[in-house]
Copies of this chain bind each other. A is one copy, B any other.
């Protein structure tokens, strides 16, 4: 596939952008070349598409199903229904999630769920990238991960320290020694998790994991709300990546990540939406805004986590971590990008596009979404959209 985007704003300058196969081949003032697809991008700007660094895509089936509950009541309501998902539910639920991601400009998601092959199938069919962790809790058979593809990489997904024993966590370390994959885990999400860890192990969650050398640069840990100073020191030394999920952490009242202290200590922090049952959307625009504002108000510090910083967490910083040569619009990079409508009222007037993107806009300002050089959304239309909603409707009717 080749795409020629004419008259697009890139860093405030008008450019033409030529994509051949899956990469940006040429970016310059005027390109005259034949292309299979030509987009006249008047009044549009080009931006890298987003990376959602922690989610459970299939839980989109349960959007709005259990709101305003405590975590325990939420789990009691959600888990029995999740049991009914099986392969089919994970497949259609993930397609629903990916559709929502495409419509809001996200082309990469870091997932943790059951039936990872179904998650991968949904991602590949719709054309986005994913890192798919196979969720694991004690008592399950150990996963044998499928082979990676161009778009999808698989990872290990031991759920959390309160659902996976030390012995099993160590087995995952052995597997990673062999195959070098990532480990995706929940860590220090709630105060209860910390209290239980202190009770059971006499150590806080990070201290516990460090006691058997679990943490290293291959670990990506979601939430990280309740780290104390010593835990942050351990993270600085051991170099796992932490995913900030501000909306989910607020909605479930889990707490607020110590962003400033983590970043000051050199810990890499990325951004994720968590699943749709605790957010209740997968819109990285909203997540960026919420991420910045929650830090500002909870620290009474209006300059903390400015737009440019939270934007890079959702794009290039995540691309670097996941080893995807995207996250910037540059010749030679993978063509993962969005076009945004500068006439969308949330992008107008435009003193600073990134400020508008982070603080004013939401997913509906995206007109086109492209991943790996393939157009996934054009003028807000995604192929097969109606059919996905229909499949979801049918599936939900069956399980309730």
Q: How large is the interface on A (under 10, 10 to 19, 20 to 34, 35 or more residues)?
A: 35 or more
Interface residues of A in 189-237 (CB under 8 A from B): 191
**Complex CA–CA separation, A349 to B89 (angstroms):** 14
List residues of chain B with CB within 8 A of the CB of A343: 389
Which residue of B103, B302, B364 is within 8 Å of A68 (Cβ)?
A: B302
- Inter-chain contact A345/B71, CB cutoff 8 Å: no
Residue A253 is within 8 A (CB to CB) of chain B in the complex: yes
Residue A392 is within 8 A (CB to CB) of chain B in the complex: yes
- Inter-chain contact A64/B355, CB cutoff 8 Å: yes
Closest chain B residue to A293, Cβ basis:
B250
Interface residues of A in 34-84 (CB under 8 A from B): 61-65, 67-71, 74
Which residue of B61, B279, B299, B364 is within 8 Å of A359 (Cβ)?
A: B279
- Inter-chain contact A299/B360, CB cutoff 8 Å: no
* Identical subunits present: 2
With A254-B297, A280-B356 in contact, do A393 and B349 touch (Cβ < 8 Å)? yes
Additional A-B contacts beyond A96-B345, A250-B294, A280-B360 (11; CB < 8 A): A64-B360, A67-B359, A68-B302, A70-B302, A70-B303, A250-B296, A251-B359, A255-B297, A280-B359, A283-B362, A290-B293
Q: Top 10 nearest A-B pairs by Cβ distance?
A: A250-B297, A364-B364, A68-B306, A250-B293, A253-B302, A64-B355, A280-B359, A280-B360, A253-B296, A67-B355
- A–B pairs, 19, beta carbons within 8 Å: A64-B349, A64-B355, A67-B307, A68-B307, A70-B302, A70-B303, A100-B345, A103-B345, A247-B293, A250-B297, A255-B297, A279-B359, A280-B356, A280-B359, A280-B360, A290-B293, A294-B297, A298-B298, A362-B362
